Structure 1
């Protein structure tokens, strides 16, 4: 028996030496005793950073003088957020419940809106900023060893500034500003995975609703009412340190094998922040600057191939998506019965061809991705300007090309043993897509117009892949 054990050890060492640089093709088995199972119970604390995008809410400015103005638009703020979070998890079986609180600094702002014709005689420059926010939320999720997929929701609060600087009939009317601390709710989802020791990393989406601001004021002797709905989409990544956790177990788990072909489907949501300028060239030029913010759902298919060297994974992926992102909330040029321009924009479909590079930790792949993006954007403006004899609609369909950049987390899919072990994976991903800008000139009833609009999208989606060549998954 002793000779057999020595021979077996020599063979094992030889095989290990030859395979040192190769990724392991692993099908992990459930640990036989609870003490060696990765657990999520306990306190944790960490930091996060990301981007916040407004535009979900409707805004409006009523000027109750000079015949009245009742314009509606999107105050679509954009900027970075960052802060810290702390919480507690409790695990029973594969289920994890807990609570988390976070506080964030925010640099989101919007100061591109110039309406009321934005010309020398008259114009209104509007701005909305979120300076900070925080949440107190519950979390519920499903854990597969060191991987936790979760939903979250609860209380939200934050600081909002809104301002309006105007010139009315050639006179500087001044500036009105209001700052409030608002309260509301937050809903979202994410994925968190162990990265070594007691450290975990997460990627998360939060929808934050801080209610509405409605304020009456007077500028230049003229009564006004401004209203805005504060809705923010937060895309962020973070790291946590689990206090007293058993994360050292992960060091015993080699990186799984990601090499080979894969294909699958995905679904998620998207919101755009499209800077737009509409100019009417008749006598005195009128030119409104504003944001269109198409929002909605996306879904489609993806396929790709991964190569692997040690823990480093690199590859190519292509996807094609159907989109419902659309907006019709903007009505400018006073938006009265006699003078108005109503705008509609829709993202019909888009696709990407991207490189991926990532790092495997146990059964989890953390990756960055970027490359070519393309898609079709439809824009329509319906005008009624009786003083110029304008009454009609102009529409444009542009197939645009640009770029995409993002990051994600991909893990084995092991939900109630419904999927074949080792062949299915699930990913959660954020993509920023810039399709550039398009400028369209047109003529309505003899009056020349120009409409220029950008197309920039923030996509948060979850997908499922089938791995054709090798099992990736791990069971704990």
Structure 2
């Protein structure tokens, strides 16, 4: 054994000596190029963002009023007052959107231009900007300032609706020989009142700063603060003429400068199973989706003072429906499997998502995916079946006040009973709805097994079933039956197959 080992060492040593001797007689060769070049920030990029409006997104409150106190009649029962509902209007404190731009880098200086569009609620409520950027960049970090023109558009419409029941009639007076009783007083009613939301368009200025870190040649994550100033009167909906936004950004660099072709090929194998999580916002597309309610029952009427006096009618109830105008936070998990044929990637995916919006309380999908790889980024479309557990508020109901009781034939009290105050009801959906989902996205690797992505999905889940109204008289407001939504979300996925 020792002889074999010594012989092997001798052969290796002889080959090494011979190679060195031969190399000494050959002309010197240039050193091979480095495998990785230094990245800079030059090139096109696109991405998605989610953010909040700081301190200027409150929608405020509105009150119905109770109609004031009735003066009591001489002996008949006083009518009850209507309920006083205090409703909260939806603010604009959450938004999502997309951005795209181009950077030029010279030394450590990075110049660029960027455009972005964000939705403040329904898709047609937007804030957008076109900006220049100037910053300092290293291969891994970029710090920049930015300024430009801003545009704000709000659709207007209704922010909320009050409905109120009628007041109940007062009871009739009774009589004893030679003496008639007083009738009770009718209760107070409210009716219906819509709270408008101002709409319109504004042009203004935007300026701010941001920071981005390169997670991989194709993927960057950052944070950006922008201050908006608009001319004209505030448009309402919780937004003032000037407001500050802060948003998190996920950006995909489509043409990462300085990255050699071999490095782009690494990670281009996308076949296999994967799982991960996602986070974003769901934008309901209905203009009449109820988000919050305020309820105020009517006051009961008073009893007639003497036995022959009628009771007062009950006051009508009041209910308020605040209509949803802002998006809702949504998050969940997904899993799937990919197959790859060259640059084409196809597969299937299932996901479950949970939102702070009862209409889209639990969303699930089973989808096919088809995509194309370019420069290390997967661009794909997706479509499939969607299912939703809809527990949203469908109807608010305000009952009429009850009638007062008639006076009797005896002078001694008590008189006619006061009418009951109107009641309030909230009726919810209890549907499991099935529909379709369609959308697209892009995804790139952060490490060999981790990928980051952004995805936009449109859901159409059909119409919610009607709900049965209470078997009593009153007024009501019913939300729209359509269940459509747009979801913009970012993704982080782990591949169980090594690329």
Which bracket does the TM-score occupy, shorter chain normalised?
0.5 to 0.7
- Which one of 169, 178, 185 corresponds to residue 244 of structure 2? 185
Question: For 1:213-232, what aligned pairs fall within 5 Å after superposition?
Answer: none
Residue 125 and residue 397 in structure 1: after superposition, are their counterparts in 2 closer, same or farther (change >3 A)? same
Q: CA deviation at 1:397?
A: 1.5
Question: For 1:282-293, what aligned pairs fall within 5 Å after superposition?
Answer: 291-293=323-325
Residue 108 and residue 51 in structure 1: after superposition, are their counterparts in 2 closer, same or farther (change >3 A)? farther
Q: Does 1:358 align with 2:429?
A: no
Q: What is the match of residue 456 of structure 2?
A: 430
Q: CA deviation at 1:446?
A: 1.7
Question: For 1:34-433, what aligned pairs fall within 5 Å after superposition?
Answer: 36-40=37-41, 57-61=58-62, 70-74=86-90, 78-79=123-124, 82-92=128-138, 94-113=140-159, 115-117=161-163, 123=194, 125-129=196-200, 131-132=202-203, 134-158=206-230, 182-196=241-255, 246=257, 249=260, 253-254=264-265, 256-276=268-288, 291-293=323-325, 296-323=328-355, 325-326=356-357, 345=358, 347-380=360-393, 383-387=397-401, 389-414=422-447, 422-433=448-459
Q: CA deviation at 1:352?
A: 1.5
Query: How far apart, CA to CA, are the structure 2 residues paired with 1:367 and 1:85?
Result: 29
- Secondary structure of 2:40's aligned partner: coil
Q: Does 1:32 align with 2:34?
A: yes
Q: Does 1:444 align with 2:470?
A: yes
- Secondary structure of 2:401's aligned partner: helix
- Secondary structure of 1:253's aligned partner: helix
Residue 467 and residue 122 in structure 1: after superposition, are their counterparts in 2 closer, same or farther (change >3 A)? closer
For these two proteins, the number of residue pairs brought into alignment is 344
Unpaired runs of at least 5, structure 2: 1-32, 69-83, 92-120, 165-189, 291-317, 403-421
CA-atom RMSD in angstroms: 4.5
Query: How far apart, CA to CA, are the structure 1 residues paired with 2:340 and 2:350?
Result: 18
Q: CA deviation at 1:427?
A: 1.9
Q: Does 1:463 align with 2:454?
A: no
Q: CA deviation at 1:148?
A: 1.6
8 Å contact from structure 1 (residues 137, 155) kept in 2: no
Residue 81 and residue 180 in structure 1: after superposition, are their counterparts in 2 closer, same or farther (change >3 A)? closer
8 Å contact from structure 1 (residues 129, 162) kept in 2: no
Query: How far apart, CA to CA, are the structure 2 residues paired with 1:373 and 1:114?
Result: 30
Query: How far apart, CA to CA, are the structure 2 residues paired with 1:408 and 1:273?
Result: 21
User: Larger deviation: 139-148 or 100-109?
Assistant: 100-109
Residue 406 and residue 187 in structure 1: after superposition, are their counterparts in 2 closer, same or farther (change >3 A)? farther
Query: How far apart, CA to CA, are the structure 1 residues paired with 2:238 and 2:57?
Result: 20
Q: CA deviation at 1:140?
A: 3.0
Query: How far apart, CA to CA, are the structure 1 residues paired with 2:233 and 2:44?
Result: 30
Q: What is the match of residue 312 of structure 2?
A: none
TM-score, normalised with respect to structure 2: 0.55
8 Å contact from structure 2 (residues 439, 455) kept in 1: yes
Query: How far apart, CA to CA, are the structure 2 residues paired with 1:251 and 1:161?
Result: 56
Q: CA deviation at 1:376?
A: 0.8
Q: CA deviation at 1:350?
A: 0.8
Query: How far apart, CA to CA, are the structure 2 residues paired with 1:156 and 1:83?
Result: 10
- Secondary structure of 2:251's aligned partner: strand
Residue 409 and residue 353 in structure 1: after superposition, are their counterparts in 2 closer, same or farther (change >3 A)? same
Query: How far apart, CA to CA, are the structure 2 residues paired with 1:423 and 1:179?
Result: 43
Query: How far apart, CA to CA, are the structure 2 residues paired with 1:465 and 1:49?
Result: 17
Query: How far apart, CA to CA, are the structure 2 residues paired with 1:464 and 1:369?
Result: 17
Query: How far apart, CA to CA, are the structure 1 residues paired with 2:202 and 2:61?
Result: 21
Residue 401 and residue 110 in structure 1: after superposition, are their counterparts in 2 closer, same or farther (change >3 A)? farther
Greater RCO (Cα-Cα under 8 Å, separation 6 or more): 2
- Secondary structure of 1:58's aligned partner: coil
8 Å contact from structure 1 (residues 268, 461) kept in 2: yes
Q: Deviations over 1:301-349 (max 9, x none)?
A: 21223344443433332111233x13xxxxxxxxxxxxxxxxxx45321
Residue 322 and residue 252 in structure 1: after superposition, are their counterparts in 2 closer, same or farther (change >3 A)? closer
Question: Whose strand proportion is higher, 1 or 2?
Answer: 1
Residue 400 and residue 275 in structure 1: after superposition, are their counterparts in 2 closer, same or farther (change >3 A)? farther
User: Larger deviation: 89-98 or 147-156?
Assistant: 89-98
